[in-house]
Amino acid sequence: MIIILVGKSGSGKSTIMRHCVEQLKLSIPKWFVTREPRNDISDDVYTFLSPREFLDKQLTNEIENANVLYGNLYGSNFPDYKHTNYISIMDVEGMWKAKRKYGKHVIGVFIECPEHVRAYRMLMRGDSTEDVTYRLGTDRTMFKGAFDVTDYKITSQTPRDDIRELIDIIRDIEEENGVELIEKI
């Protein structure tokens, strides 16, 4: 199973993903990006590459799911997705691609969060005012249709509540499909 978190910049996706990896039986796929590292909790998830290195990995199929986001290349791979439970982050286009490629193995969860909260979070993680303004503006159009591609929606309250809500969603998925995705906690 592949659980994909979709949400605008600063919506809490990385925080939720990190908790799920630390506390639950979920793995993070390999992620490759051409952006510069930033002071962010998600930076240890990424392998930072030059554009040329990124394209080379695409040619060897080490990167299967690639997309351009905020002017940078992002890509991942879900090896053994039928036997490993993954949690990942994608934008709307990436979610569409994953659903087309992996079908019923993909569950999309949209994280909705007020713009002022997202702006504050981005500034606190070290993004410049210019980057925050750019991302907020870009997100307004980039995430149109997000509800159409995702299966569930979390309306962000606090990181702790968001994580609890995702765990409830995962429990529902387990019950509906007769599978165990996470350890009983």
Asked whether residue 185 carries a pLDDT value surpassing 50, the answer given is: no
Q: Which residue has the higher pLDDT, 68 or 133?
A: 133
Residue-wise pLDDT for 42-83, tens only, equals 556 788 999 999 999 989 888 878 888 888 898 888 877 777
Residue-wise pLDDT for 140-169, tens only, equals 988 887 888 899 999 988 888 999 999 999
Q: What ranges make up the beta strands (E) of the chain?
A: 2-7, 30-33, 46-48, 65-69, 72-77, 86-90, 106-112, 152-155
Give me the mean pLDDT over the 113-121 stretch: 94
pTM to 2 decimals?
0.83
Q: What is the model's pLDDT at position 41?
A: 52
